[in-house]
């Protein structure tokens, strides 16, 4: 749950993560939606690990550049050092963070993994990114260029996330589900499709939107075993949970 600047050059650290690109080669050979989802989950997790390691190395380089500027005798020299040495590294750190969050958001599937994102937002970014950003802005006496600032929007494919998947119910218990839809824009619709196990056509029940991309379902206690899946229409795509639905 913590990160630290890594003084080692990235060229020295990178070979430890060569397996990530080796694993990526197998992508086109993975057949079946369920298999593809599992493969993508692990590939993205390993990409996340690699980008965190790269960010740590860049962080150490950035700190050196800022310290070098701080001890410069004259203000013009300090500004030159910041713009020529600190800002380019900061831009690389921005790119690394974008990859880190892209990988995280591609793999979140439960409450624990949501906690990893919360840890970044509440614990890691303030020390590794936000406070250094404020310091850099003060030293440059102005706003930072767009290339060194994190974007606020989501830029990945739409996803349907069910943090706690229900596979069984007590007798007479209603089925309650919380569903998260991750998308660039507001979903057009989110629905629960169900039928008696193996019989007839699926029936759709719309979910209630309770906050941003959070939807809730309360389905009356079924009289017999049912099967179900969820479907969201967002960003011009139809996405199902589970992937094999």
Q: 87-107 vs 111-119: helix axis angle to the nearest 10?
A: 170
Closest by Cα among 45, 1, 56 to 20? 45
For residue range 95-134, list pLDDT tens digits in order.
999 999 999 999 999 999 999 999 999 999 999 999 999 9
Q: What is the pTM of this model?
A: 0.91
Phi, psi at residue 221, to the nearest 5°?
Answer: -55, 120
State both tokens at 106.
Answer: 């591609």
pLDDT band at 82 (very low <50, low <70, confident <90, very high): very high
Strand order in the sheet with 159-161: 159-161, 175-182, 214-219, 208-211
Round to whole Å and give the CA distance between 55 and 132. 14
For residue range 142-166, list pLDDT tens digits in order.
888 888 989 889 999 999 999 999 9
* 8 Å CB contact between 213 and 235: no
Residue 1 above 90 pLDDT? no
* 8 Å CB contact between 177 and 162: yes
State both tokens at 242.
Answer: 């589970």
């Amino acid at each position: 749950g913590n990160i630290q600047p890594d003084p080692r050059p990235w060229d020295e650290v990178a070979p430890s993560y060569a397996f990530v690109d080796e694993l990526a080669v197998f992508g086109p050979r993975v057949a079946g939606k369920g298999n593809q989802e599992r493969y993508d989950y692990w590939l993205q997790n390993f990409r996340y690990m690699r980008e965190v390691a790269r960010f740590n190395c860049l962080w150490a380089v950035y700190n050196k550049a800022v310290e070098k500027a701080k001890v410069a005798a004259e203000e013009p020299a300090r500004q030159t050092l910041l713009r020529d040495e600190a800002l380019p590294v900061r831009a690389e750190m921005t790119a690394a963070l974008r990859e880190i969050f892209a990988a995280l958001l591609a793999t979140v599937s439960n409450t624990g993994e949501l906690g990893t994102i919360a840890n970044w937002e509440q614990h890691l970014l303030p020390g590794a990114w936000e406070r250094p950003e404020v310091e850099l802005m003060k030293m440059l006496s102005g706003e930072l260029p767009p290339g060194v600032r994190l974007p606020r929007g989501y830029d990945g494919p739409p996803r349907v996330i069910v943090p706690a998947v229900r596979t069984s119910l007590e007798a007479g218990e209603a089925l309650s589900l919380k569903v998260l839809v991750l998308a660039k824009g507001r979903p057009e619709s989110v629905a629960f499709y169900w039928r008696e196990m193996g019989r007839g056509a699926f029936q759709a029940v719309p979910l209630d939107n309770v906050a941003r991309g959070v939807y809730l379902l309360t389905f009356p206690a079924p009289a017999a075993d049912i099967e179900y899946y969820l479907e969201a229409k967002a960003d011009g795509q139809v996405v199902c949970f589970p992937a094999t639905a």
